[in-house]
Amino acid sequence: MQKKRLWRSRLLVAFAAALFFAHGATPLSNPRVRQLGNMLHCKCGCNASVTECNMLQCHFSDPVRTELLQMVEAGRSDEEIFAAMTGKHGKDIMRAPPAEGFYLLSWIMPYAGFGAGLAVIGLIILFSLRRRREAVPAGAVAPTAELNRYQTQIDKDLANFDS
């Protein structure tokens, strides 16, 4: 009975060790793979990076992580890896779009939109201040020649009244 338990435990340990060593290196245990994976966008719909995708058995990030590990272990540079990834999956795999061509708009448009918003707010404030200055108070009458004559007479009378 004792031998049977010992044999089963040894078999279990051997089986666990075989599974561990058969799996090989996991891609995310390599820090460079994690760093490069953070710069690549996962296309499974999770809107995360290839490194941060937490979908079990992800159809996109798992193979890309394995590819990254193979390229890193082969000694390829970052530029070569990114060129291979954009060649295979398109430029939209990059989380930060390249600053060239049509993708340059994604760098410029946030600032242009912010500037345009500030300009619109400034124009609204300017027009409202101008309208407020031009507005005639309620009950006020536009100055005419007769009104000016009465105003000068009032000013003369008030000047004589003070002396």
Q: Give the Cβ contact number of residue 84 at 10 Å.
A: 14
pLDDT at 104: 81
**pLDDT, tens only, 22-47:** 444 466 778 888 888 888 988 888 88
Is the pLDDT score of 17 beyond 70? no
Full-model pTM: 0.50
**Spans of all domains in the chain:** 2-96, 104-162
Q: Of 49 and 141, which is predicted with more confidence?
A: 49
Q: For residue range 105-131, what is the model confidence (pLDDT) as tens digits?
A: 888 899 999 999 999 999 999 999 888
Mean pLDDT of all residues in 37-59: 87
CATH superfamily of 2-96: Cytochrome C biogenesis protein (1.10.8.640)
